[in-house]
Structure 1
Amino acid sequence: MADREIGVAVLGLGNVGSEVVRILNEHAADFEARVGAPVVLRGIAVRSVDRDRGVPAELLTTDAQALVDRDDVDIVVEVIGGIEPVRTLILSALNSGKSVVTANKALLADYTGELADAAKLADVDLYFEAAVAGAIPVVRPLMQSLAGDRVNRVVGIVNGTTNFILSAMEETGADYADTLAEAGRLGYAEADPTADVEGYDAAAKAAILASLAFHTRVTAADVYREGISKITAEDLASAKAVDCTVKLLAICERVVGADGEERVSARVYPALLPHSHPLATVNGAFNAVVVEAEAAGRLMFYGQGAGGAPTASAVLGDLVSAARNRVHGGKGPDESTYAKLPIAPMGETPTRYHVNMEVADRPGVLSAVAAEFSAHGVSISVVRQEDTGNGASLVVVTHIAPEAALAETVAALDRLEFVNAVTSVLRLEGTGE
């Protein structure tokens, strides 16, 4: 065993921070054996020290900067969230030669480059396994296990709130508003669910995954984003009719433009997924990520994507790695951005589409609709028409086409006199066509 202790500062004592502190205290002997030196909690930064938090009062402080600056702190664990003052605190820690473990996806989605540069300059570790999909190990496999492979695609369900809502809508037939309210009552949705249901949370995670998978800096602003707030019970029923479900997917992949240049596409949106796809069976608040690599093939990572204990598990895994490096020398891998691939515009991104419209029930409608798809270079795979009493419901499933071509087609359909409304356009993923 090493003679010196490894001092740890924890910033934040919410659900995750409390679990990190509890597990560190309860399994101190195990952590010492795994690391090769005692891992000692030096202090915990909180907003207020006025209430009982279940830890010794002398460990608590409201001065996070002073805690970070302490000479006996080797590793800073950040589980506060948000951008500032966290960004400043983490940069301060890195610049002073302390390793950092963070679960902050929002910060990393926009500032990974700045933080990674600071870590590299100081020759210390920056670990963030917990920033994507909670306890599910996906960051380290992309950075290390697959470092000798070429990753072509990463697709995942990375937000438990939206997955719970869509799963419940499919199971019960309830509409979005009622299901969101129920998710709030059960504790699956925040009081303000915007970050989850509008896809911001998933987009931040997609940016991190794309950066790791394709050795290119991708920020949240580079990720095309749509949420689930416009999904209806009718969309779920329509998906079921073609043996599909609806999931909010984070999709990161290599695409080749018309000029032959390889680009990175990163996007988040609700999409139809065939029931035969492995992600279609991921229900409730669970997460899963599928990685497709040239040599390894398809790999799937599945588990609890959020919650205090699962996220703490990922944080503590990073803490052990950082502490071992402190004891035995060395450090983890630096950020890899050598590829520097450009970001693909959403209009160039190819996929399939499921277009639902209300039309007049009269001869010639189907042929005229098909002509509009053909005129814009969008090939039709399946057509289904049902009488609604006041007209007809027409569903068109396409072959793969660029987003821009589909958008032009929908705009043209809206102008046809016998198309009452294009009621929904959902992308169709996971069919292999």
Structure 2
Amino acid sequence: MSSGKPAVRLALLGCGTVGSEVVRLLHDQAEDLTARIGAPLELVGIAVRRLGRERGSLPVDPALFTTDALGLVKRDDVDVVIEVVGGIEPARSWLTEALRAGKSVVTANKALLAEDGATLHDAAAEGGADLYYEASVAGAIPLLRPLRESLHGDRVTRVTGIVNGTTNFILSSMDATGAGFGEALDEATELGYAEADPTADVEGFDAAAKAAILASLAFHTRVTAADVFREGMTGVTAADMASAKEMGCTIKLLCLAERGEDSSGQESVSVRVHPAMIPRSHPLASVGDAFNAVFVEAEAAGQLMFYGRGAGGTPTASAVLGDIVAAARNRLSGTRAPSESAYAHLPIRPIGEAVTRYHISLDVADRQGVLATVAGVFAQHEVSIATVRQSGRDEDATLVIVTHGAPDANLAATVEDLRELSIVRSIASVLRVEGSPA
């Protein structure tokens, strides 16, 4: 199918799992993409680290490959630069060069956007160029564009999400089988859900980067990964999962971003990533396997849920292709995507001021007055106890306490003072509780 218009020319940086799928989709859907855009897409170069690497039956002319990424970006015949390499440098240099030259950029680089998205947005403004990054969070799930465009006339108050498929697979497996963390991680690795080094996933770094991007869009404020409170999920045990079941809950690694007031009454933003118990009645509780889901709450729209596969070559490439189509259409029509909206400049609220609930499991001496002493520590820090459950006797006595909502600093101080009590042999676990009445 010929549109009669000159092709929109693409430069691809990276040809790994995602990049290869982008190439395949560009080839397999070429006719449909031309019809949707109004002009054909032409891939004019692919930057890779090594030219001699085996790339299977990739439908592309080998002459397009180059190791000179910056040279490819600078070419006059490039309209749109697609980056799926990842990392901070040299990706930042490549993309700022493209944007300042007025070339549209499509990127899946969550780490760069979360650490220094400001540089990219400033370069886009300077060059009058488009910056699209739907694939940076939650793979194929159409999430960022609704936040950036569809909900632009609304006031988003809270975003709660499962944005890492590896950790969700592990916790879902622990919930279903009673396995410990190590066993579930081994299964995730064997099935290809977890990397050989799973640190970025299980310690929450990946989710924290995505949380920063979501908060920036939702609250019109520049938020970086350094602003996000982060706690990994390696400490979650089979006993924690069993305790959650007894409460009618499950445990998920959540990203939570919310608008509210700080201790001085000033409007601010809280952004955190940590494991938390949520009721099984919550929409996120049923999200299993390696799926992602994000729950958005807005004043006018109410509650919205976005769900789907959040990772993998094909789902991520799907999001990249969507951005390519949008960027290409804009170039043909001489228009631009919505520019960065960061007018609010809301301060970041520290974790100590976030209001949450705690689930605390204590190994205690089974003797008279223990409960009163423990309750006194909570009262001292103005933390109200919602429920108390005791199991076992003598050396196996355990107290499980769930609090009402309180500032995280008060709850953390309570836990530290409990550690100093002679009647508390150990604190078996501390988990936050979300998604239920405070």
Change beyond 3 A, Cα 1:360–1:321: same
TM-score (norm 2): 0.97
Q: CA deviation at 1:101?
A: 0.2
Counterpart position of 1:213: 218
Name which of 225, 228, 237 aligns with 2:230: 225
Contact 1:352 1:400 in 2 (8 A): yes
Change beyond 3 A, Cα 1:363–1:376: same
CA–CA distance in structure 2, aligned partners of residues 280 and 166 of structure 1: 11
Q: How does 1:185-200 map to 2 (within 5 A)?
A: 185-200=190-205
CA–CA distance in structure 2, aligned partners of residues 374 and 126 of structure 1: 51
1:276 aligns with 2:281: yes
1:49 maps to a residue whose letter is: L
1:298 aligns with 2:296: no
Compare 177-186 and 78-87 and name the one that shifted more: 177-186
The secondary structure found in structure 2 opposite 1:390 is helix
Counterpart position of 2:121: 116
Counterpart position of 2:188: 183
CA–CA distance in structure 1, aligned partners of residues 393 and 173 of structure 2: 26
Q: Deviations over 1:308-337 (max 9, x none)?
A: 000011000000000000011111011111
CA–CA distance in structure 2, aligned partners of residues 388 and 61 of structure 1: 70
Change beyond 3 A, Cα 1:388–1:88: farther
**Paired residues, what number?**
433
Aligned-pair identity in percent equals 62
Name which of 61, 80, 90 aligns with 1:56: 61
Contact 2:88 2:112 in 1 (8 A): yes
Counterpart position of 1:24: 26
Q: CA deviation at 1:389?
A: 5.2
1:332 maps to a residue whose letter is: A
CA–CA distance in structure 2, aligned partners of residues 297 and 211 of structure 1: 20
1:412 aligns with 2:381: no
CA–CA distance in structure 1, aligned partners of residues 389 and 9 of structure 2: 64
Counterpart position of 2:320: 315
CA–CA distance in structure 1, aligned partners of residues 359 and 102 of structure 2: 53
Name which of 353, 356, 375 aligns with 2:380: 375
CA–CA distance in structure 2, aligned partners of residues 281 and 188 of structure 1: 19
Counterpart position of 1:264: 269
1:130 aligns with 2:135: yes
The secondary structure found in structure 1 opposite 2:88 is coil
2:426 maps to a residue whose letter is: A
CA–CA distance in structure 2, aligned partners of residues 321 and 120 of structure 1: 18
Q: CA deviation at 1:152?
A: 0.2
1:123 maps to a residue whose letter is: G
Q: CA deviation at 1:371?
A: 1.2
Q: Deviations over 1:221-271 (max 9, x none)?
A: 000000111111111011111010000000000121221111100000000
Mark the runs of 5 or more structure 1 residues left unpaired by the alignment.
none
CA–CA distance in structure 2, aligned partners of residues 395 and 403 of structure 1: 18
Q: Deviations over 1:330-381 (max 9, x none)?
A: 1101111110000001111101110111001111111111111111100011
Q: CA deviation at 1:407?
A: 1.0
Counterpart position of 1:421: 426
Counterpart position of 2:358: 353
Contact 1:151 1:291 in 2 (8 A): yes
CA–CA distance in structure 1, aligned partners of residues 12 and 4 of structure 2: 22
